[in-house]
């Protein structure tokens, strides 16, 4: 009988586990460090500052326009490292699989992970696979951890926004969250919506080449741009003023947000970054972002100010103003 689904035996640690790893996982990630199948990957590292990050992905559905849980899991950790100013080097991948997941789906997810890793120029060097009984997880959950190296003189932190800094966003907001939601609810629209999941490390490299002293970098994932800006305002003790009409928002995403009652400022992004840069260098850094394939719609959306420390204030498109507060509670569960 041909096995086309994950069985509990695949997680037993025995023969079937071995088969799953050697037949299915290894060929996809194919690299010498992983091949030895040791308990951990062993490598040398230069005497440099490192960044280390981890994230777990539980997105539902596991496939969506623009990506999958696999692509998201690699890009997510790559981006977390990139937001520290680090060049990502190595990733680990932990899979928790529900009994009964089709091997075709698993194969697609693994392939997406490998492609994403290749695109971001990182290697998956160690991993783990567990299978749990039906119902214990929903299809598959993926954890990735990663390490990266931070170039000298780079000092990026949420504490470093200064009054006068320009706030740059690398492209349109709310694409990922609304894509996942509409997929999940089976809503069909004329204009297709696509998740923005993408690796941002090459963009960050270009930005740092344009100007080393970028003050803050954040990828506004869960909680969206609104929450990310609030965290920066709070940690840096500055006010942040943004201009609603300057914030890139695709018409179809705006329309869906409107229809369903979501505020795009709180909807997740998976391939966008926010940068705070001293005004003299903002245009140069903006040009560097725009030179990247995922940053073509980048623009300056506001600035850090002395007034209203810890608060984010938006000038609305009709000329009014309002506070953009941090999101409380769940706007959308399981989007990443």
Is 323 among the residues that bind another protein (CB under 8 A)? yes
Cα distances (Å, whole numbers) of residue 48 to 73, 148, 202, 207, 210: 26, 10, 19, 20, 21
Is 61 among the residues that bind another protein (CB under 8 A)? no
Instruction: Report in angstroms how near the CB of residue 173 gets to another protein at its nearest.
Output: 14
Which of positions 170-189 make contact with another protein (CB under 8 A)?
185, 188-189
Token duo for residue 5: 């689904």
Element (H, E) at 93: strand 87-98
Instruction: Report in angstroms how near the CB of residue 332 gets to another protein at its nearest.
Output: 10
**Residue 23 β-bridge partners:** none
Instruction: Report in angstroms how near the CB of residue 260 gets to another protein at its nearest.
Output: 7
Nearer to another protein, 23 or 258 (CB): 258
When binding is defined by CB under 8 A, the residue of 36, 42, 136, 260 that contacts another protein is: 260
Is 42 among the residues that bind another protein (CB under 8 A)? no
Is 317 among the residues that bind another protein (CB under 8 A)? yes
Is 328 among the residues that bind another protein (CB under 8 A)? yes
Instruction: Give the integer Cα–Cα distance in Å for 60 and 74.
Output: 16
When binding is defined by CB under 8 A, the residue of 22, 191, 284, 296 that contacts another protein is: 191
Nearer to another protein, 122 or 193 (CB): 193
Q: Please name the residues in contact with 284: beta carbons below 8 A apart, sequence gap of 6 or more.
A: 210, 211
Instruction: Give the integer Cα–Cα distance in Å for 257 and 160.
Output: 32
Proportion of the chain in helix, strand, coil states, percent, rounded to 5? 35, 25, 40
Contact segment (CB under 8 A) with another protein among 142-150, 197-205, 273-281, 307-315 equals 307-315
Cα distances (Å, whole numbers) of residue 255 to 110, 178, 189, 192, 197: 34, 10, 10, 12, 21
Instruction: Report in angstroms how near the CB of residue 322 gets to another protein at its nearest.
Output: 4
Nearer to another protein, 137 or 313 (CB): 313
- Tell me the site size for another protein, rule CB under 8 A: 31
Instruction: Give the integer Cα–Cα distance in Å for 28 and 274.
Output: 33
Instruction: Report in angstroms how near the CB of residue 321 gets to another protein at its nearest.
Output: 5
When binding is defined by CB under 8 A, the residue of 17, 56, 157, 308 that contacts another protein is: 308
Q: Please name the residues in contact with 245: beta carbons below 8 A apart, sequence gap of 6 or more.
A: 317
Asked if 101 contacts 139 with a C-beta cutoff of 8 angstroms, the reply is yes
What value, to the nearest 5°, has the Cα angle with vertex 199 and ends 51 and 105? 110
Phi, psi torsion values for 206, nearest 5 degrees: -65, -40
Token duo for residue 308: 């209203």
Is 320 among the residues that bind another protein (CB under 8 A)? yes
Which of positions 227-256 make contact with another protein (CB under 8 A)?
251-252, 254-256
Instruction: Report in angstroms how near the CB of residue 26 gets to another protein at its nearest.
Output: 39
Which of positions 70-109 make contact with another protein (CB under 8 A)?
none
Give Cα 48 to chain centroid, integer Å. Answer: 25
| 328 three-state secondary structure | coil
Instruction: Report in angstroms how near the CB of residue 159 gets to another protein at its nearest.
Output: 24
Token duo for residue 197: 């999941």
Nearer to another protein, 213 or 252 (CB): 252
Is 118 among the residues that bind another protein (CB under 8 A)? no
Nearer to another protein, 8 or 313 (CB): 313
Is 37 among the residues that bind another protein (CB under 8 A)? no
Element (H, E) at 218: strand 216-218
Q: Which residues bind another protein (CB under 8 A)?
A: 185, 188-191, 251-252, 254-256, 258-261, 263, 308, 311, 313-323, 325, 328-329
């Amino acid at each position: 009988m041909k096995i086309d689904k994950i069985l509990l035996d695949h997680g037993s640690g025995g023969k079937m586990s071995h088969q799953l790893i050697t037949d299915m996982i290894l060929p996809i990630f194919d690299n010498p460090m992983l091949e030895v199948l040791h308990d951990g990957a062993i490598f040398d590292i230069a005497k440099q500052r490192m960044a280390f990050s981890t994230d777990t992905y539980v997105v539902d559905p596991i496939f969506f326009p623009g990506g999958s849980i696999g692509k998201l899991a690699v890009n997510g950790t790559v981006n977390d490292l990139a937001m520290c100013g680090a060049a990502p080097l190595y990733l680990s991948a932990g899979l928790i699989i529900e009994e009964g997941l089709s091997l075709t789906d698993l194969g697609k997810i693994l392939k997406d992970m490998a492609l994403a890793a290749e695109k971001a120029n990182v290697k998956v060097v160690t991993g783990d696979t567990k299978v749990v009984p039906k119902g214990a997880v929903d299809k598959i959950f993926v954890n990735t951890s990663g390490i990266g190296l931070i170039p000298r003189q780079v000092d990026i932190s949420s504490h470093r926004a200064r009054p006068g800094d320009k706030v740059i966003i690398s492209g349109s907001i709310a694409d990922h969250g609304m894509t996942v939601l509409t997929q999940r609810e089976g809503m069909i629209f004329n204009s297709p919506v696509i998740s923005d999941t993408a690796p941002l490390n090459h963009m960050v490299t270009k930005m740092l080449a344009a100007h080393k002293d970028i003050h803050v970098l954040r990828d506004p994932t869960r909680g969206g741009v609104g929450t990310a800006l609030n965290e920066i305002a709070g940690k840096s003790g500055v006010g942040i003023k943004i201009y609603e009409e300057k914030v890139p928002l695709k018409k179809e995403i705006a329309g869906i947000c409107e229809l369903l009652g979501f505020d795009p400022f709180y909807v997740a992004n998976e391939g966008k970054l926010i940068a705070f840069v001293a005004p003299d260098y903002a245009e140069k850094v903006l040009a560097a972002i725009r030179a990247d394939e995922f940053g073509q719609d980048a623009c300056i959306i506001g600035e850090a100010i002395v007034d209203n420390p810890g608060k984010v204030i938006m000038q609305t498109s009709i000329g009014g103003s309002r506070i953009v507060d941090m999101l409380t509670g769940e706007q959308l569960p399981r989007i990443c």
